[in-house]
Amino acid sequence: MNAIADVQSSVDKRNMPINQVGIKNLRLPVGIVSAEGTQQTIADLTMTVALPEEQKGTHMSRFVELIQAQQCNIDFNGLRQLTEAMLQKLDATAGKISINFPFFRKKKAPVTGIASLLDYQVTLCGEIKGDDYLQSMQVIVPITSLCPCSKEISAYGAHNQRSHVTVTLSCHDQINIEDIIDIIEQQASCQLYALLKRPDEKYVTEYAYDNPKFVEDMVRDIATTLKNNEKVTTFTVESENFESIHNHSAYALIQYP
Amino acid sequence: MNAIADVQSSVDKRNMPINQVGIKNLRLPVGIVSAEGTQQTIADLTMTVALPEEQKGTHMSRFVELIQAQQCNIDFNGLRQLTEAMLQKLDATAGKISINFPFFRKKKAPVTGIASLLDYQVTLCGEIKGDDYLQSMQVIVPITSLCPCSKEISAYGAHNQRSHVTVTLSCHDQINIEDIIDIIEQQASCQLYALLKRPDEKYVTEYAYDNPKFVEDMVRDIATTLKNNEKVTTFTVESENFESIHNHSAYALIQYP
Amino acid sequence: MNAIADVQSSVDKRNMPINQVGIKNLRLPVGIVSAEGTQQTIADLTMTVALPEEQKGTHMSRFVELIQAQQCNIDFNGLRQLTEAMLQKLDATAGKISINFPFFRKKKAPVTGIASLLDYQVTLCGEIKGDDYLQSMQVIVPITSLCPCSKEISAYGAHNQRSHVTVTLSCHDQINIEDIIDIIEQQASCQLYALLKRPDEKYVTEYAYDNPKFVEDMVRDIATTLKNNEKVTTFTVESENFESIHNHSAYALIQYP
Amino acid sequence: MNAIADVQSSVDKRNMPINQVGIKNLRLPVGIVSAEGTQQTIADLTMTVALPEEQKGTHMSRFVELIQAQQCNIDFNGLRQLTEAMLQKLDATAGKISINFPFFRKKKAPVTGIASLLDYQVTLCGEIKGDDYLQSMQVIVPITSLCPCSKEISAYGAHNQRSHVTVTLSCHDQINIEDIIDIIEQQASCQLYALLKRPDEKYVTEYAYDNPKFVEDMVRDIATTLKNNEKVTTFTVESENFESIHNHSAYALIQYP
């Protein structure tokens, strides 16, 4: 074994530090701890550390070794410990772990109350820079948007469509994924459900027609709520409406501050 | 140069012919000839030949050589010549070329008449098997679908969304891409446009509300029209509705005969 | 509730049966039972039934109701029961369920023996047509392919790359996902691992160089093994090599019989 | 026409300006002017403007109107004029146009000199903020990377694979797309070609083996060159290696300054 050269550990003379180096798109089963319990899901992981200018290479296998040995379920606290463990294992002073996964919530249909699971796409991110720990979260929520202009100018009907609202935020306190989903769904023309019986379908159709929103309204109303959330430090909110009358999207973004 | 071994031409003893071997996902600019003229677009090409059991390998570079030397614009006739040239160059008795590309049509908005380009995804496919030449086409057309059930049960409004209708057909005669697009768009709750001014938006909103269609209706109405088209030998028609009230699709398929 | 019309149950007069109608791309957590145990993963589901010509529409919510109520873990037997339950619930004589999911196996590195999980993409499919039940499986296995021509003609080195081998088979008996993965990995220039230490990396590098395979060899060697498997009724095997020296793929397919 | 309400122009009272609002993923044929000539390609466009807090909505159709009327071929100067025209048409003080497209170059095989086209993915971006005009470019170049560790520790062979190098830069002067591609390809273990005959394949195999590079080397060597380019103001360089021995990527990023 001693005979196998450790090329990565030799000295580098290009005078060029690297901001991030590591592994990308490693898929693994993970347990995610959230307000409503723990769920088993499949994550796509990116793990990187900063590399000082004098070091030729990082040790790629150590990232995999660390995450494969990970036994516990993950929340913001677990992610912090994992990020710290990565820096120690890689002998680094800065680094970042990003975990992207489908997340499920049991929702009750608005009239019949029948329960079903709806899927969201979530990313949790932990980053250490010197003495600072930065935690961030991205949640993509599918919703219905109904166009106020189309409703106003038409004798009947109004075009509506599925939209993706994406909130990306950094927070100094632990924030529940469910809270961010709630904030977004409450501002939608209507929220989505996997399972709707006829009385529910009547309800969501009329609810959306009663709550028309431009893509501009959607990001403004969500931004107003997030701005008042004391746990949220910075955020961007985006809405992409997959227009039912066009083959392109309507899009808006607010960045705060 | 003589010293460089031609490994692919050696004899194979596994007694196992190969149905298709060649190159996949080669991107190239191509000119497509259609009823409304010639357009420059970017194609994704797959080119394969059958390999008899005694031959170890095909010559991958010859596929690329052939298509890179291709100077002419492509229609069904051009595709046939290209497929024949491929078989000759590769010394094969069967083979297939598949060309997938975005296709554009200039459309006039329904009230103001303002023109704009709409994009479709099209695949042309030419295949030789012994003495037979088979030509096929796939067209994916984005449309609006509006739910009849939602309209019927609701006091006002109706959920609608963008849908993809996919027609895949084989034909013994040359068929225009534009004719298939027309057949699909005429059966939609409403067709799409890149550019709509307010009077147009009023029109398409009301038009869709006046023409509700289930995913079942969409495939049935298009299949009925295609069945009566003498140039069409076989076809499948699919509709996928990206439901605005769910995070999954409604889907239907008819295969004929 | 009685006042809410059931539009889907009205009579259709277009004389056009539908081969498949239902829901597509519904994401759900599922438990998959395989030879090496049960694993929790996230599935993408498509569920469809045939619709006779006289029936206007299917009942989309019943598909979701059925699958959301599903409590058990799934193997080929569970899938059959689920497909039968779907036909009963939808009052249909033909139908199909397709479950696509990432699947994980614990693998030991070839020299150090360190264990890590590798991910594969698998689809299980159950279909009822009249009295027949057809079960099929698709497994996509990432492997290393090393080019024999490049090795032969070069003074040193040989281009190699990640490839995807896809086996799609129908079987009259239950087949383990792991068995199909084994068949594919044994024929690769080298199999993949998530975690390799330096002695392992030396091993896989030399192993691949000792086992060069054309894309043609890969599909032939796997087809030869599958042909002799008594449980397998029909199969196709494809290999797509993401060539390290080109920006397109080398591709081959064998269909049997 | 007068009767059709202009909902978007009403006054908004939420006190919340919007950073970007407009259209996303509009596909259109465009001509791109570059150092080696003009090429027709297919672009994916995103066009947005800033919206002040008192304005309820933007006019989505005007973006489409502007770009559909665009007759000229696009380079950095054309993009600036287009961005200025957008701000004027939308009555905005800030805005951004992003054009993403496949870009082709004719390359000669290293030994035989046979020419073929290779495809790259490029984004040009023009942004106006008050009095400032910012122009940026992103180029994704597919290359071969060969692992120095694998070469060093193995008796023969070395794992190599296709990698994507992504350079994203802002510049105060016009920069040619071709110059950035050249910088990246010169630092690769080897560059890619669509068409290679056997003597070329021998050449690229040996060339890559003679030029092993870690993902860290790749970003460092490209960053060193870009740092010395006087036209480049800021840049990030990323490399993602689709490892042939793993099912995940090795990844590195340098941001400058």
The pLDDT value given to residue D3: 60
Question: Which chains does chain A touch, 3 or more C-beta pairs < 8 A?
Answer: B, C, D
Picking from D65, D115, D198, the nearest residue to B195 by CB comes out as: D65
Q: A144-153, A170-179, B237-246, D218-227: which range is least confident on average?
A: A170-179
With an 8 Å Cβ cutoff, are C193 and D246 in contact?
Answer: yes
Chains that touch D (3 or more CB pairs under 8 A): A, B, C
* The predicted structure's pLDDT at residue C203: 98
Which residues of chain A neighbour D5 with C-beta distances below 8 Å?
Answer: 149, 152-153
Share of chain B above pLDDT 90, in %: 90
Tell me the mean pLDDT in the region D154-181: 96
Q: What's residue C163's pLDDT?
A: 98
- CB within 8 Å: B116 and D64: yes
pLDDT of C13 reads 83
Give residues 182 to 211 of A whose Cβ lies within 8 Å of C. Answer: 194-199, 202
Question: Averaged over C211-222, what is the pLDDT?
Answer: 98
Among the partner-chain residues C65, C102, C195, the one whose CB lies closest to the CB of A64 is C195
Separation in Å, CA of C171 to nearest CA in chain A: 28
**pLDDT of res. B56:** 93
> Tell me, what's the pLDDT at A245?
98
* Cβ within 8 Å, pair D29-B40: yes
Please report which confidence band the pLDDT of residue D199 belongs to, taking 50, 70 and 90 as the band edges.
very high
Chain C contacts of D156, Cβ < 8 Å?
156, 206, 209
CA C108 distance to own-chain centroid: 23
Neighbours of D85 (CB within 10 A): 15
- Provide the number of CB pairs (under 8 Å) joining chain B to chain C: 140
Is the per-residue pLDDT at B174 higher than 90? no
Alpha helix positions (H), A118-197: 148-153, 177-187
Concatenated DSSP letters of D242-255? --SSSSSEEEEEEE
Q: Which residues of A fall within a CB distance of 8 Å from D153?
A: 4-5, 7
Is residue C70's pLDDT more than 80? yes
CA distance C250 to chain D (A): 12
D72, pLDDT greater than 90: no
**From A4, A27, A195, residue closest to C68, measured CB to CB:** A195
pLDDT at B255 over 90: yes
Residue (of D62, D57, D71) closest to D29 by Cα position = D71
The pLDDT, as a whole number, for residue D141 is 98
B102:D1 CB<8 A: no
CB C208 to CB D155 under 8 A? no
Please determine, for residue C26, whether its predicted confidence score (pLDDT) is greater than 70: yes
Residue D4 has pLDDT above 80, yes or no: no
Tell me if D42 and B39 make a contact (CB, 8 A cut-off).
no
Question: What are the tens digits of pLDDT across the range C77-117?
Answer: 899 999 999 999 999 999 999 999 999 999 999 999 999 99
What confidence tens digit (pLDDT) does each residue in C169-187 have?
999 888 999 999 999 999 9
Q: Using a cut of 0.90, tell me whether the model's pTM lies above it.
A: yes
Nearest C-alpha of chain D: how many angstroms from C172?
32
Q: Which of residues 89-128 of D touch C (CB under 8 A)?
A: 118-119
pLDDT of residue C3: 60
| CB pair distance less than 8 Å for B253 and C4 | no
Contact (Cβ atoms closer than 8 angstroms) between residue B66 and residue B85: yes
Q: B106 CA to chain A: closest CA distance, Å?
A: 14
CB atoms within 10 A of CB D131: 6
Which band of pLDDT confidence, cut at 50, 70 and 90, is reported for residue B1?
A: very low
Residue C256, pLDDT > 90, answer: yes
* Residues of chain B with C-beta less than 8 angstroms from the C-beta of C23: 248-251
What would the pLDDT profile of A195-206 be if each residue is shown by its tens digit?
999 999 999 999
* pLDDT, tens digit (0-9, with 9 covering 90-100), for A138-169: 999 999 999 999 999 999 999 999 999 999 99
- Complex ipTM value: 0.94
Closest CA to B255 of B166, B189, B182: B166
Read off the pLDDT of each residue in C20-34 and give the average, rounded to a whole number: 97
pLDDT class for A3, splitting at 50, 70, 90?
low
Whether residues D68 and B119 touch (CB distance < 8 A) is answered with no
Residues of chain C with Cβ-Cβ distance to D204 below 8 Å are 159, 245
For the cut 90, the answer to whether the pLDDT of residue D76 exceeds it is: no
Task: State the pLDDT at residue D6.
Answer: 75
> pLDDT category, B10, cuts 50, 70, 90?
confident
Residue C244 contacts D, CB cutoff 8 Å: yes
Q: Which fold has domain A12-256?
A: Urate Oxidase (3.10.270)
**Listed range (C64-78, C180-194, D112-126) with the worst mean pLDDT:** C64-78
- Nearest CA-CA distance, residue D58 and chain B, Å: 13
Q: D154: distance to nearest CA of chain A, Å?
A: 9
Kindly determine whether residue B28 and residue D104, on different chains, have CB atoms separated by under 8 Å.
Answer: yes
* In chain D, domain spans: 12-256
Query: Which tokens hold the place of B149?
Result: 């059930």
- Tell the burial category of B149 from Cβ atoms under 10 Å away from its Cβ (0-12, 13-18, 19+): buried
How far, in Å, are A206, A208, B100, C23, C63 from residue A203 at the CA level? 5, 9, 42, 21, 20
- Rounded mean pLDDT, A49-54: 96
- Closest residue in B to A140 (Cα) is B247
Query: What is the overall mean pLDDT for chain A?
Result: 95
Which residues of chain D neighbour A252 with C-beta distances below 8 Å?
A: 18, 20-22, 48
Give mean pLDDT, residues B89-113. 98
- Residue type at B67 in one-letter notation: I
pLDDT at D10: 78
Please say if the pLDDT value at position D71 is more than 90: no
Partner residue opposite A29 with nearest CB, options C40, C115, C199: C40
Cα(A141)–Cα(C77) distance, rounded to whole angstroms? 35
Which residue(s) pair with B120 in the sheet? B103
Q: What is the mean pLDDT of residues A76-102?
A: 96
In the DSSP assignment, the letter for residue A153 is H
* Option in B144, B153, B202 nearest A198 (CB): B153
Q: What's the distance, Cα to Cα, between the start and end of chain A in Å?
A: 54
**Angle CA A175–A177–A180, to nearest 5:** 85
Angle of helix C60-69 relative to helix C76-90, nearest 10 degrees, comes to 140
For residue B3, what pLDDT band results from cuts at 50, 70 and 90?
A: low
> Which residues does B59 contact at the CB level (< 8 Å), separation at least 6?
B8, B90
Q: Verify whether the Cβ–Cβ distance D150 to C194 is below 8 Å.
A: no
Query: pLDDT digit string (tens) for A207-239?
Result: 999 999 999 999 999 999 999 999 999 999 999
Nearest CB among B41, B68, B198 relative to D29 is that of B41
pLDDT computed for residue C2 by the predictor: 44
The confidence score (pLDDT) of residue D117 equals 97
d(CA B116, CA B133): 37
The nearest alpha carbon in chain C to B255 belongs to: C19
